[in-house]
Amino acid sequence: MNVSVGEVFSTFLRLGLTSFGGPVAHLGFYRSEFVERRRWLSDAQYADTVALAQFLPGPASSQVGFATGFLLAGWPGALAAWTGFTLPSALLMFGFALLVARLGPLGHAGWLVGLKVAAVAVVAQAVAGMWGSLVAGESRPGQLRVGLALGTAAALLVLPGAWTQLLALLICGLIGWRWLPGMATVQAGQLKVALPRRTGLILLAVWAALLLGLPLLRPLGPAFALADTTYRAGALVFGGGHVVLPLLQAGFVPQFLSGDTFIAGYGAANAVPGPLFTFASYLGAAQQRLSPVLGSLITTVAVFLPGLLLMLGALPFWAGLAARPDTRRALNGLNAGVVGLLLAALYDPVFTSAIHSGRHLALALLAYAALTAARVPAWAVVLGCALLGAVVF
């Protein structure tokens, strides 16, 4: 179907302004818009696109947007889809970083305490949900996934750092490949893309070259250091937007900003529409080695670029990949490790930076109850905690 680039941009811009609730909710909004309302994609095409995004590292909802824009209007459509969906939240997070810089030291601001407490509840909800879907089980494979998740969390709490994260996830993937059963096979083949396999290989090679080459360029200046830190986080994050938290934390704190400033931005990121990955837009503006505009531009592009390269690079090969049981077994183990990674991040830095008294813990428990039992949207819980924090703390 031929759709104009302008239509793609305006549609994704509206979604970027109104899509609260995180990646899963975004995928629901996408289906309502593209399959049911506009009929731009069939159910089978959309299901294949979502399956590929779940299979790859990166921001799932943004990757589905990349692919949808490409299917509708080629390369300009992919860029228009990303820009429209990302721009609103990126601008909001950039503005919040400027506000934080203007207010000065934040450690004891009541509204900031509320934001940090809200982050505890949001991450705890993410851990619980992912544990239920990716780890839990009464069978031996289920017990093995529990072991992988808890072992990963223990390793990261004892030896925190980006290299520990990478090694732990690699081990989980290898164990999954050897001893775990595969997930249900997705019947792909509905995506007919005008993208040669050779082009796909080039895109995947560029992804790998940047991942390996950017660390060598770090000594050239802070711009390259920012690009490397953020690109690596975007390239290696499995399991959704919340999992990017420990990857970015390892690269930004304390090298570029304080832990308080980091957690404040994460709390705010849960209160805005659009992709949670625009947390990187805030981090780029909040660091003080480059101008806020340049820093935010670098981090915003760098955190999304690997997902774009991987998604479009893998599209021509997806039919074959989806049918391979070995790749799906490895992904099963990798997902268990991702839950452990997020579990470790729930304790440090999220819990340790936010909970310092019984009142803090009480508010975190109430926020968690609001998210899970009362089904209050995350953005409303975050704003409510900030307001209560300003009054109580």
Question: Tens digit of pLDDT per residue, the chain (393 long)?
Answer: 678 999 999 999 998 987 866 776 687 778 888 888 888 888 767 877 876 776 788 888 899 899 999 989 999 999 999 999 999 999 999 999 998 888 765 556 788 788 888 878 887 887 888 788 778 765 666 789 999 999 999 998 998 876 787 788 889 989 998 888 765 444 444 556 778 889 999 999 999 999 999 999 999 999 999 999 999 999 988 655 677 888 898 889 888 998 888 988 888 887 788 898 999 999 999 998 999 999 999 999 999 999 999 999 988 887 666 567 777 788 788 878 878 887 888 898 779 888 999 999 999 999 999 989 998 887 788 889 989 998 988
**pLDDT value at residue 136:** 79
Domain that holds residue 117: 5-392
How far apart CA 30 and CA 38 sit, in angstroms, is 10
- pTM of the model as a whole: 0.75
Q: How many domains does the chain have?
A: 1
Q: Determine the 3-state secondary structure of 42 from DSSP.
A: coil
Going by C-alpha positions, the residue among 43, 20, 33 that lies closest to residue 69 is 33
Is the CB of residue 262 less than 8 Å from the CB of residue 249? Answer: yes
How far apart CA 112 and CA 118 sit, in angstroms, is 10
**pLDDT value at residue 105:** 57
Task: Give the N- to C-terminal CA distance of the chain in Å, as an integer.
Answer: 55
Give Cβ neighbours of residue 374 (< 8 Å, ≥ 6 apart): none
How far apart CA 240 and CA 276 sit, in angstroms, is 9
Q: What is the DSSP letter of 271?
A: T
Going by C-alpha positions, the residue among 49, 42, 85 that lies closest to residue 67 is 49
Residue with tokens 């905690």: 385
How far apart CA 189 and CA 168 sit, in angstroms, is 33
What is the DSSP secondary-structure string of 44-91? HHHHHHHHHHHHSSS-HHHHHHHHHHHHHHHHHHHHHHHHHHHHHHHH
- At 244-258, the pLDDT tens digits run 888 898 889 888 998
How many Cβ atoms are within 10 Å of 293's Cβ, its own excluded? Answer: 12
Give Cβ neighbours of residue 354 (< 8 Å, ≥ 6 apart): 113, 116, 117, 119, 120, 263, 360, 364
**pLDDT value at residue 320:** 66
**pLDDT value at residue 31:** 82
How far apart CA 280 and CA 117 sit, in angstroms, is 20
Going by C-alpha positions, the residue among 312, 304, 320, 260 that lies closest to residue 286 is 260
